[in-house]
Structure 1
């Protein structure tokens, strides 16, 4: 609202209307902040309405409007939403637990007889290690989002790389176990190879789709009504 449109002295700025500042180019701008309490979290909507009452102010009935809106949503000590604030700590805690599990698994393999250790067990070791790295980098990525409001590219890229490798290795290991490779036979049949040719690319595509969905959650969405 433009203060000049109102003649009543009883109106209070930022309570009854939002005062706009006009620059040398004839453009109006405003900057304001609002706070929501715990009961009101998530119950807010930003709407813009172009009121066609310009004729009373000396304008035509319809005036074209072109504007840019920058919205920054910030919780106390974090740019993450209320439900995502604990995520950095949770991911780092689980990364620590998986790291302990990795060391315990390696220790078990080292103490076992070589005849009882198959190649698939080594693949499982790599899988748990990649899971540890994925959780660690995911926690670091969320930490920077919560602290600065955006991701640090290096941590995001490293997380997505480990996430893709972990997903592909997980399904590859499951297929190897399901086909009996290393436990009952030391070769892959034509049917087994076909499974790898179909399942692994689908898993990679699925992981890429999940990455795109996660990235879109950090984007800003503006609805103009």
Structure 2
């Protein structure tokens, strides 16, 4: 085992675990999980992260364990006492990371593979079970949590060049009331308010949908095709949040989502595709400015929609494989890359429309109408940029600053920003008889011309 690689691996493994909390902010996965590890030589494997209250329990069952020397290994044998599971608290992680970076090489020490720092034998981690203590029929370790904190269940292999095969079942839960025989609560402390939060958000969007449908029916003469697409977006957003509420409710009581995670993924897929489609269509002025899309605008849609399909498939892989997967960090990076590309792509149609309106204002003599359109498009651009920036970047920093007890605050921030964004878009682009795209009063034309000249260099 190399000292430097241990420190780097530990930091990367747990940092990725924090990242996925944000990536999967909309859904809670099972806290009872069965994992199969096959011929894996990684020094550290993150299994779970869970926020415990006092009296919570971490249960781990090893049903099967085997190991072998990797071809080309310099070791002459395998020491199973140097392989096992530990609990690492959030308070102890900085100490472990510091020790792993600065520990002196110790060829005769406990690492068994060239010296260095070993989490399993350090005083900063809580030992759960070592492979040397696992009989042929398997073994179970249940640890009560006396010090509330967020803990990571980590498998540590302190011998470089040794591959392990494991069949492991993990079960993390808190106990209501902190009494030994209390009801189990499988949600981490920081996510326990989620069922209520998601239920309220879902109800709000269903009400929003009813109001939107009523507004469209009331002004059906001026309703455009884009309004139907926007209504579908509200429907799938409401259904997604309803499934998130059911998912977290079942996980809280049983430890598994009972299939509600599948419904969450399905509705989340349609919501994601429709959200970016609506942004692109509004940005191009489709159904407002013109009943058709230009070739370059169609190309943007042909890029964004497949990318959304890929993004949602990657999200499923991340959620269902968990951090134990060898390529889990790579999948997270791919997800973030695709999401960034989608966000950048939707800006182009809005910028094209703003430039086209500025050019038209100089030639068609309709200054007031173009001023209305230009102002609305510029405002729309700023709001889209702010929304995507907040939900992708600002919330990450927010999560890093929050205590593990208040992780639900990230979900509230994201949903509040989303609702504000939806309100802005739906209010500004709702069907009205005197649409600012189309209606211009006679007394507005002269003053608008001067204002457009002053605004000429804004974009």
Shared topology, TM-score over 0.5?
A: yes
Give structure 1 stretches of 5+ with no counterpart. 1-17, 51-64
Q: Give the aligned partner of residue 252 of structure 2.
A: 146
Work out whether 1:33 is the aligned partner of 2:120: no
Distance 1:215 1:66 in 2: 20
Give the counterpart of 1:100 among 189, 192, 207.
207
Shift of 1:48: 7.5
Superposed CA deviations along residues 71-108 of structure 1, whole A, max 9, x for unmatched, are 32111231121112221221111101111111111112
Work out whether 1:195 is the aligned partner of 2:300: yes
Change (3 A) 1:129 1:34: same
Give the counterpart of 2:240 among 119, 122, 134.
134
Q: Give the aligned partner of residue 8 of structure 1.
A: none
Shift of 1:207: 2.2
Give the counterpart of 2:190 among 62, 80, 83.
83
Change (3 A) 1:93 1:187: same
Shift of 1:204: 1.7
Superposed CA deviations along residues 196-225 of structure 1, whole A, max 9, x for unmatched, are 1111111221222223223344x778xxxx
How many residue pairs align between the two structures? 180
Distance 1:169 1:41 in 2: 39
Matches within 5 A, 1:1-225: 27=136, 30-37=139-146, 39-43=147-151, 69-76=168-175, 77-112=184-219, 114-153=220-259, 155-217=260-322
Tell me which protein shows more strand as a share of its residues: 2
Shift of 1:27: 4.1
Give structure 2 stretches of 5+ with no counterpart. 1-128, 159-163, 176-183, 326-459
TM-score, normalisation: structure 2:
0.35
Distance 1:95 1:184 in 2: 33
Q: Give the aligned partner of residue 53 of structure 1.
A: none
Superposed CA deviations along residues 150-197 of structure 1, whole A, max 9, x for unmatched, are 2212x2222211111111111111111111110011111111111111
Q: Give the aligned partner of residue 14 of structure 1.
A: none
Q: Which one scores higher on RCO, CA 8 angstroms, separation ≥ 6? A: 2
Change (3 A) 1:178 1:35: same
Shift of 1:110: 1.9
